Structure 1
């Protein structure tokens, strides 16, 4: 299991999608958006999804209340945070500011 600090303490920007999937049938809507972000950014950034139901201690420590909540880290420092749906172009533009 990887420690959260190890995930965010890197030189490239890290976009994290904190999400919760409330039922097995429900498709997680940001999945398609994040695939587009990954395709556009390649190895210039890291994109990670963290299920807040399976990582309650981390979600509580970071005060994640909205679903989804997006956060950008670089060198272990939070650079941007927003709750609510985001489109791929917005996320790509935000992450590129820290490349």
Structure 2
């Protein structure tokens, strides 16, 4: 299941999550973000129950983008026990995201 994270549900869904979280910071107008969208959706299905995977639209949630210092998108934040433990900026192969996810579970 792919989540949609907002400032209203962020603490409950991300910071207080009992499983690791992958956040895809994106924008609708971003070409590389659109390319990564199907990959993120696949990962959400593959890791359902093991990792919470969701998206933050940087245009709609600028506070969250600012909190994580997002300067370029797509930006992937790997959160474990409420803390940023790794990140990736830009369009990357699925295998790179998988290796980071495997390190968290």
Measured on the aligned residues, the alpha-carbon RMSD in Å equals 2.0
The answer on 1:37 being equivalent to 2:12 is no
- Residue of structure 1 in register with 2:72 after alignment: 66
Q: Structure 1 regions of 5+ residues with no counterpart?
A: none
Computing the radius of gyration over CA atoms, which structure comes out larger, 1 or 2?
A: 1
Number of residue pairs matched? 97
Q: Structure 2 regions of 5+ residues with no counterpart?
A: 1-5
Describe the superposition over 1:68-90 as per-residue Cα deviations: whole angstroms up to 9, x where unpaired.
Answer: 00001011011111211122222
**Normalising to structure 1: TM-score of the pair?**
0.84
Q: Output the CA distance in 2 between the equivalents of 1:73 and 1:61.
A: 13
3-state DSSP of counterpart to 2:86: strand
Greater RCO between the two (CA within 8 Å, min separation 6)?
Answer: 1
